[in-house]
Amino acid sequence: MTFFKDLGLSEPILRALDAEGYSVPTPIQAGSIPVILEGRDLIGCAQTGTGKTAAFSLPVLQLLSANGGWSPAKAGQPAKGFKRPIRCLVLTPTRELAIQIGESLSAYGKNLPLRHTVIFGGVGQWAQTDRLSKGVDVLVATPGRLLDLMGQGYVDLRQIEIFILDEADRMLDMGFVHDVRKVIAKIPERRQTLLFSATMPEEIVKLSQTILRNPARVEVTPVSSTAEKIAQSVYFVSKSDKKLLLAHILKNRSLDRVLVFSRTKHGSDKIVKDLQKSGIRAEAIHGNKSQNARQRALAAFKDGEIRVLVATDIAARGIDIDSLAYVINYDLPNEPESYVHRIGRTGRAGASGLAMSFCDGEERAYLRDIERLIRKSVPVIEDHPFPTNDAIAMGEAKAAEEARRAPRGRGGFAARSGRFGKTEEPRHSSGKPWTVKAPNRDRGDPRGNRGRNFN
């Protein structure tokens, strides 16, 4: 077994880790830390929840603090009138994730003479510019606010030594790649660059080829894999009955903290209103909520003041809660990779988790894409108070169950024996084949990694 003390980390950082109760690194940390300490560029295939924040924070803090850190005298500058330059930039897509990275830097770097700050939009800029004016070693930023403050002259990136692009695929999803390129154009070419992404779509591959030099690549398990300790299930239910089914499930008080996913911002708000009518305390977080409202809702959820947090995919990307045991997909995502990200919020740090999904008639194609990606069928729960009357959906559920019990045939899909030893496709009750939608080959390389939580 590898321990943090075996990775070449300094004594002040090891003391900070010990204070946090950590001694054993996750796979992404064990693979990344030595490479980063060598000064090499790196591509880390890692999704949120694998410990990637510590994977880059720990070695970067050590590199920046080498020889006592920056000082005006060491930089050949007179002390008076000069502030410490920004030496490391961490670019991340969401406010929540930026805040959590800042919290990690505070915890791991508490014994080091380094300063950091976090900047993001949605709040006033005065407090952020005030901290910047005092000088920081590490800047954690979202793209929009960073470019804004750069344009106003508050941020100077000319002395960046280390650049970290976090959640690169989410940057692409949110339309930030153009902004990322603008930022990269302002930082020195001679630098160490670290890129982390759960998947590697073509545009991210092209970006990595232009900004990294002979990078090492660290990846643990495919992004398509789902944690073994996460119990998955799907309920076939009509769209109009989803709110009733959700309230029914949440009547079980043992589900003490539940993260519910909605596909849209409006849908998130509607789910919260329906739950509140049923006497269940819930809050929503999404892009239309103010930063303060989102932080209050997240804090109330973490503290147990509310049982249910309803979120969109983007808003939930920065949520990191060790003890979260339950995830419900009220709406199935139209991108199967998002399903893996969603249910990966539970089952962390070696704990068990439960992921439940609601599937209406229009979402069956999404379910098939998900099962194709994760390479297994999601068990169907048919015994519930609001079964769908959609005969096709029920037939598919039965066919899926039959397929799971049958031996595997070519292509990884189950087949059953027909007459004369031939194989037949699984069929539902109508007698028609249970067809499977072809995978979308343009979704990029479905690779990332999973592990216990350590952010």
Q: Comparing 259 with 428, which gets the higher pLDDT?
A: 259
Of residues 70 and 327, which shows the higher confidence score?
327
Query: With b meaning 16 or more CB within 10 Å and e meaning fewer, what string describes 170-205?
Result: bbbbbebbebbeebbeebeeebbbbbbbbbbbeebe
Instruction: Tell me the domain boundaries of the chain.
Output: 4-219, 230-443
Neighbours of 75 (CB within 10 A): 13
| Residue 94: per-residue pLDDT | 83
pLDDT in tens, 125-167: 999 999 999 999 999 999 999 999 999 999 999 999 999 999 8
Higher pLDDT, 292 or 136: 136
Given pLDDT bands bounded at 50, 70 and 90, which one contains residue 314? low
Q: What is the pLDDT of residue 263?
A: 87
Residue type, 74: K
Residues 8 and 32: beta-carbon distance below 8 Å? no
| pLDDT at residue 188 in the model | 96
CATH topology of domain 4-219: Rossmann fold (3.40.50)
pLDDT per residue as tens digits for the range 269-281: 999 999 999 999 9
Phi, psi of 373 (to 5 degrees): -65, -45
Q: Which helix (H) or strand (E) holds 310?
A: strand 308-311
Contacts of 50 (CB under 8 A, 6+ apart): 26, 27, 28, 220, 448, 449, 450, 451, 453
Least confident range from 130-134, 207-211, 245-249, 447-451: namely: 447-451
Q: What is the pLDDT of residue 320?
A: 66
> Average pLDDT, stretch 254-266?
90
- Rounded to the nearest 10°, the torsion over CA 170, 171, 175, 177 is -150
DSSP letter at 100 equals H
Confidence of residue 262 (pLDDT cuts 50, 70, 90): very high
Q: With 90 as the cut, is the pLDDT of residue 451 above it?
A: no
pLDDT tens-place string over residues 157-178: 999 999 999 989 888 878 899 9
Distance CA 87, CA 191 (A): 10
Query: Which pLDDT score is estimated for 367?
Result: 93
Lowest mean pLDDT among 35-39, 251-255, 426-430: 426-430
Digit-coded pLDDT (tens) for 213-234:
999 999 876 555 665 678 999 9
Please determine whether the domains at 4-219 and 230-443 fall in the same fold group of CATH. Answer: yes
3-state SS string over 342-375? Answer: HHCCCCCCCCCEEEEEEECHHHHHHHHHHHHHHC
Mean pLDDT score of the chain: 80
- The superfamily (CATH) of domain 230-443 is P-loop containing nucleotide triphosphate hydrolases (3.40.50.300)
The pairing of beta strand 416-417 with beta strand 423-424: antiparallel
